[in-house]
Amino acid sequence: MELLSGADMLIRSLQDEGIEYVYGYPGGAALHIYDALFRQDKVKHILVRHEQSAVHMADGYARATGKPGTVLVTSGPGATNTITGIATAFMDSIPMVVLCGQVASTLIGEDAFQETDMIGVSRPVVKHNLSVRHPEEIPEVIRKAYYIAATGRPGPVVVDIPKDMTTPNERYEYAYPKKVKLRSYNPAIRGHAGQIKKAVDMLLAARRPIIYAGGGVILGKASDQLTELVRMLGYPITNTLMGIGCYPASDKQHLGWLGMHGTYEANMAMHHSDLILAVGARFDDRVTNATEKFCPGARIIHVDIDPASISKTVEADVPIVGPVDAVLKEMLSLVKEAKQKPDADALAAWWKQIGEWRAFHGMRYETSDDVIKPQEVIETLHRLTNGEAFVTSDVGQHQMFAAQYYKFDKPNRWINSGGLGTMGFGLPAAMGVKLTHPDDEVLCITGEGSIQMNIQELSTCKQYNLPVKIINLNNQALGMVKQWQDMNYESRHSQSYMESLPDFIKLAEAYGHKGVRIDSKADLESKLKEVLAMKDDLVFVDIYVDRFEHVYPMQVARGSMKDMWLSKTERV
């Protein structure tokens, strides 16, 4: 058997795991590992400018490819800088392994230089964390980390590696374990057959059914099964912000997404339904609004890989724990075999009602002859890219506009921080996507507040030639904060102005990129066309949009699903 140092075992383990990219930043405690990285060329390392970006890059990569992302950082500040990114991945169940250097085991607990208890610090925001106690353990620890990160409900796993575990002076026999067995970790591999049968009977007997799909459908690679089931039943479907793309947005059965800024018809249909089939969605408070007023007439079937997600905020009548693809497949075959068919009259009446809601308030906004509306920018981008782009976003009004007006027909193309709501996510996530999809259009839709949180990554984009398009919806304010202040604090705009904005065009140029400013409505389409034609360049597009625009629809705080503002003056 081959003899390798701990550091070489670590890198070899990544190779054997099939890892192509590691995003990271070197430092003292990780130097043996970085040296091992230098002496091979299978695992490629991307040097970011801030560790938070390394995690968001790994995250964007994971969301676009469905494979776990990998991060490598040093101890102390290197490790703590990853926490926001780890928490982001944790909230959205993104598979990821974060390798952190640690001071030598002999120094742990002595407040050594660049020492932090990363196991303790990361504990509340990881699926699991592991520390290496003997160099021989490294291959097994790495195998375990990826296994835990990618199976069941996915999530980030932190591995803490003391420097003396990687020293080049000691060598050990290397063998990468093929299988992992953890007696205490056994994610479900199929749903309960009896419960699935019961669910299908209820589905076929429903009069006002709706399917509510979440990010779990995308993570569980179950879009095809879901689409087939929805079409076969002929029922309306809505999805969460995280579930965007799990069912084609352009399809007539799709009601748009639901919840706080969801469509009128999706929220009305949910509220008035008599049966909800929830798939890979967790009844987040941004969806349900006040849970005590949630869908009073509906019974709920809840399919989720994570038993703890079921009946956490809203009680389920039929819980089904299992992988969504396997459960949906079983549902499909039961529906095919079933003698009972959906009640055609009831369904027609239900669609007629939904049609009226749609006609009353489909997605719309007021246009103007001179100012550029943010919604128009997104609609134009959708048209010019044929709805085929990968779109990452930051957090705020621009995120909601992007999700509302870019119609996604495919999964894994809409990439945003849904659960944690992390500003600074968009650009590094876009870089992670572009790296593995060099021929696809990758748009980072952002705002002038968000982009400044990780703008240093323009430098990384230059180094690795990542020609993403940054679409900055510049309203010179923290738009969503300002909107809430308009609505709830009598327009007292406490600290929501972005004063002293940089000249983003010059900034982009300083980093070696192109910059384009759009400040007149007449130029919008033609200039965006030019930008999209610049295939080989990163272009920072600074668009001056309406400073007073709000995101609508918007649910009324502590109301039911159907209590909404449809515009600044119209409440239903």
Partner 1 sequence: MRRIISVLLENEPGALSRVVGLFSQRNYNIETLTVAPTEDETLSRLTVTTTGSDKVIEQITKQLNKLIEVVKLVDLTEGAHIERELMLIKLKATGSQRAEIKRTVDIFRGQIVDVTSSVYTVQLAGDSEKLDGFIQAVGTSGVLEVVRTGVSGIARGEKVLSL
Give the largest CA-CA distance in the chain. 77
Smallest separation, CB 125 to partner 1 (Å): 10
Phi, psi of 549 (to 5 degrees): -75, 140
* 57 catalytically annotated: no
* 114 catalytically annotated: yes
Smallest separation, CB 27 to partner 1 (Å): 24
Give the alpha-carbon dihedral of 377, 380, 384, 387, to 10 degrees. Answer: 90
Smallest separation, CB 123 to partner 1 (Å): 5
Q: Which is nearer to partner 1, 127 or 361 (CB)?
A: 127
Annotated catalytic residue, options 51, 115, 330, 379? 51
* 373 catalytically annotated: no
Q: Which is nearer to partner 1, 201 or 306 (CB)?
A: 306
Q: Which is nearer to partner 1, 117 or 388 (CB)?
A: 117
Q: Which is nearer to partner 1, 96 or 481 (CB)?
A: 96
The answer to whether residues 170 and 135 touch, using CB atoms and an 8 Å cutoff, is yes
Binding site for partner 1 (CB under 8 A): 119-120, 123-124, 127-129, 131, 148, 182-185, 306-308, 311-312
Q: Which is nearer to partner 1, 125 or 354 (CB)?
A: 125
Q: Which is nearer to partner 1, 200 or 321 (CB)?
A: 321
Helix pair angle (6-17, 138-150), 10° resolution:
30
Q: Which is nearer to partner 1, 160 or 457 (CB)?
A: 160
* 51 catalytically annotated: yes
- Assign 101 to helix, strand or coil: strand
* 480 catalytically annotated: yes
Which helix or strand (DSSP H or E) is residue 402 part of?
helix 397-405
Smallest separation, CB 213 to partner 1 (Å): 22
Smallest separation, CB 185 to partner 1 (Å): 5
Tokens representing 167 are 């020293």
DSSP-derived pairing of the beta strands 554-555 and 564-565: antiparallel
Annotated catalytic residue, options 20, 67, 114, 228? 114
Is the bond preceding residue 553 a cis peptide, omega within 30 degrees?
yes
Annotated catalytic residue, options 331, 431, 480, 564? 480
CA distance 324 to 329: 8
Smallest separation, CB 135 to partner 1 (Å): 18
CA distance 557 to 444: 30
Smallest separation, CB 211 to partner 1 (Å): 24
In SS3 terms, 218-259 reads as HHCCCHHHHHHHHHHHCCCEEECCCCCCCCCCCCCCEEEECC
Smallest separation, CB 184 to partner 1 (Å): 4
What is the DSSP track for 302-327? EEES-GGGTTSSS--SEEEES-HHHH
| DSSP tag of 373 | P
Residue 534's nearest CA partner among 514, 556, 554 is: 514
Phi, psi of 542 (to 5 degrees): -100, 105
CA distance 248 to 256: 10
Smallest separation, CB 155 to partner 1 (Å): 10
Q: Which is nearer to partner 1, 155 or 411 (CB)?
A: 155
Residue 122's nearest CA partner among 147, 93, 98, 150 is: 98
Tokens representing 44 are 């490629």
Give the alpha-carbon dihedral of 477, 478, 482, 485, to 10 degrees. Answer: -140
Q: Which is nearer to partner 1, 127 or 358 (CB)?
A: 127
The answer to whether residues 125 and 98 touch, using CB atoms and an 8 Å cutoff, is no
Annotated catalytic residue, options 9, 91, 118, 163? 163
Cite the active site residues: 51, 113-114, 163, 480
